[in-house]
Amino acid sequence: MARVPLIERKADVAPTHHDVFDAITRSRGRVAGPFAVLLHSPELAGRAAHLGAYVRFESALTPVQRELAVLATARAMDCAFEWASHAPEARKAGVTADTIAAIGEKRGPSAFDTEAAEIVEYARQLLTAHRADDATFAALRARLGVAGIVELTATIGYYAMLACTLNAFEVTPEPGTESLWNS
């Protein structure tokens, strides 16, 4: 059970912030997960949702690149909700079941194709050592360009922020969804 009440209904938001609730619902289909917590601070929720809409739907990253970054972040942060939400999205984007399992099991770079290995390793380094080594950074910069590695880094940071929110407030995935712990 979450540590604070989750705001999932428009009636639970002050009328002055219905526009924020509506914007989140339009871009995501409903208010759930981190936004059900963030709406306790509607201005923050709106700004986070705006950034998230860019990261998720408009970024220069391909859907596969984005979902690899999200799953690597969810795994590094041990965020069950984020994992349950994005493992199916990763499959839809074209990430293989073997790659998803390898991220979940924290397998090393040899378990992935080159592109996946670079993205997963970059996220792991940023979230565990708080920086990336020169070789990992250079490989991604060569593959994605400067703008691409900036967007990848921001994507990892954005999903790490959401993972912190989900973990701190103990927001758990819905029953029957994919479990991080069984990957």
Alpha carbon distances (Å) from 113 to 60, 66, 109: 21, 15, 8
89 with 139, same domain: the answer is yes
Residue 163 lies in a domain: yes
139 with 98, same domain: the answer is yes
Among 35, 57, 79, the domain-final residue is: 57
Q: Which domain holds residue 49?
A: 10-57
78, two tokens: 């041990």
pLDDT of amino acid 162:
98
pLDDT bucket at 181, cuts 50 / 70 / 90 = low
Residues 6+ apart with CB under 8 A from 47: none
Mean pLDDT of 12-30: 95
- Per-residue pLDDT tens over the stretch 73-111: 999 999 999 999 999 999 999 999 999 999 999 999 899
- Per-residue pLDDT tens over the stretch 128-155: 999 999 999 999 999 999 999 999 999 9
Q: How many distinct structural domains can be found in the chain?
A: 2
24 with 90, same domain: the answer is no
